[in-house]
Amino acid sequence: MYRQIILFILSGLLISTVFAEGDEPKELIRARDSYQSQLKTAAQTCKQKFEGIDKLPTPEEKTKELNRLKTSYQQQLEFIAKSYLSKLDSMRKMPSFNKNQVYAIKDEISNFQKPDASVPPGAPSGKTADGKAGKPADAAKDVAKADKDDEGDDVADFKAPDGTASDEDVAKVQAASLEDAKARNQEEIRKLSLSDLKADWIKERREFAEKRPRPENYVFTQALFNSYAATIPEDKRELEEKRFKQVSGIKDYMSRLMERNTYPRPITLKNGGRATGIMVNPNFIAVKTGGKKYKRLGWDALPVNESASILEYFATMRLKISAAPNISKEQLRREAAEDFLRIGMLCDWYEEYEDAVKYAKKAVEADPKIEDIVKKYMMQ
């Protein structure tokens, strides 16, 4: 009898588990997979860096580098964890999920455990390079010193802004042409209302786009798109390719904007590090994290929200330009509006739907005449 009761209880638990797994929204599964992938990459990178410490010539240099790497790894894991929890919190607030899916997200949040960064992969457990116990406070000081002494990877292929930039320089930089809204379904587009444009509204209409290529380094290829296009309904392909054209040109556009213009605000990198200056070219970015030296990094170090902020800065700058040679104020306003829409498409593509809505509405605020085009790209 007792055995039957126990079996009954276990069966109930098993069934509950199966149902709970089925209630997990796809967005949660993707977010969790991405989080675990980031942790794995951080661990592998950290281990590789620790393996190179033995090549340093003196114990002092080994100690300094070991402490710097430990603190850097701890900061990176903290940033990855915070980003994941922030994404879960945003997801939890979206009304498009049913009650069970919301419970699944809340359960993920309540059961979340911070990754253990106390002993980084490849590091001697609890020891510094000279065999003494490590002290977090000392490590933090070493990081600050190391920033000043940054090795400054080769940035010779970067051309720093020469300080002669002007409004005219920004006004002259053009992005890929944005096609107007002269589409077969023009009447349907006009019936749409921007007041309906919300994060969960977009998300519901992007179920077809689950397999969009979203490279972290912003390197898009036609082959990537062609492979993806084969997975979506035929009636979605034409407009999706137009979106792809805009998103895939973002990196080059940003590089041209920043060729003679500086971005004056601090940057938060994907690893949680802060940069006080940034230069970019189509192949790399270079950031200043301390002192005067720049360190070269891949584009995958720059989060989508920071790319969006940089582009927003220049779009706002374009909007404020009172006059430029051979460019009317009306044209400048239109180009600024297109820039905001372009940023919105970037955020939409990378599933940052709250920001996508924000920039789409900024586009219409900049130039109300662009409303139909905004609805075409953001609401179909």
Are 142 and 189 part of one and the same domain?
A: no
The edge-to-edge listing of strands for the beta sheet with 285-288 is 277-280, 285-288, 295-297
Are 109 and 214 part of one and the same domain?
A: no
Are 350 and 205 part of one and the same domain?
A: yes
Are 32 and 176 part of one and the same domain?
A: no
Q: Could you tell me if 257 and 278 are in contact, meaning their C-beta atoms sit under 8 angstroms apart?
A: no
**Confidence bin at 1 (pLDDT 50/70/90):** low
- Where is the domain boundary, 90, 115, 148? 148
Are 27 and 114 part of one and the same domain?
A: yes
Are 190 and 104 part of one and the same domain?
A: no
The predicted structure's pLDDT at residue 17: 43
Among 193, 192, 25, smallest CA distance to 96 is for: 25
**Confidence bin at 56 (pLDDT 50/70/90):** confident
Residue 155 corresponds to which tokens in the numbers above? 């940035």
- A 10 A CB-CB count for 119 gives 13
Are 95 and 224 part of one and the same domain?
A: no
What domain count does the chain have?
2
254 or 113: which carries more pLDDT confidence? 254
Q: Does residue 303 register a pLDDT over 70?
A: yes
Q: Does residue 66 register a pLDDT over 50?
A: yes
Are 122 and 207 part of one and the same domain?
A: no
Give the whole-number percent of the chain exceeding pLDDT 70.
Answer: 78
Residues in the chain: 380
Among 50, 92, 55, smallest CA distance to 73 is for: 50
Interval 71-82 mean pLDDT:
76
User: Rounded to an integer, what distance in angstroms lies between the CA atom of residue 46 and that of residue 254?
Assistant: 30
Note down the domain range covering 236: 163-260+302-380
In a domain, 51, yes or no: yes
Beta bridge partners of 278: 287
The predicted structure's pLDDT at residue 45: 74
In a domain, 282, yes or no: no
- Where is the domain boundary, 119, 148, 177? 148
Interval 229-245 mean pLDDT:
95
In a domain, 289, yes or no: no
In a domain, 358, yes or no: yes
In a domain, 26, yes or no: yes
| Alpha-carbon distance values, 95 to 99, 102, 122, 239, 305 (Å) | 9, 9, 44, 27, 23
Are 71 and 104 part of one and the same domain?
A: yes
Interval 332-350 mean pLDDT:
96
In a domain, 27, yes or no: yes
User: Rounded to an integer, what distance in angstroms lies between the CA atom of residue 284 and that of residue 297?
Assistant: 6
Are 173 and 134 part of one and the same domain?
A: no
Q: Does residue 187 register a pLDDT over 80?
A: no
Are 144 and 16 part of one and the same domain?
A: yes
- Cα Rg for the chain, rounded, in angstroms? 24
Give the burial class of 75: count Cβ atoms within 10 A of its Cβ; 0-12 exposed, 13-18 middle, 19 or more buried. Answer: middle
In a domain, 367, yes or no: yes
Give the burial class of 77: count Cβ atoms within 10 A of its Cβ; 0-12 exposed, 13-18 middle, 19 or more buried. Answer: buried
Are 68 and 172 part of one and the same domain?
A: no
Q: Poorest-confidence range of 54-58, 168-172, 337-341, 372-376?
A: 168-172
In a domain, 158, yes or no: no
- Where is the domain boundary, 120, 148, 176? 148
Tally helices (H) and strands (E) across the chain.
15, 5
State which of 93-107, 174-188, 252-266 shows the largest mean pLDDT: 252-266
Q: Does residue 232 register a pLDDT over 90?
A: yes
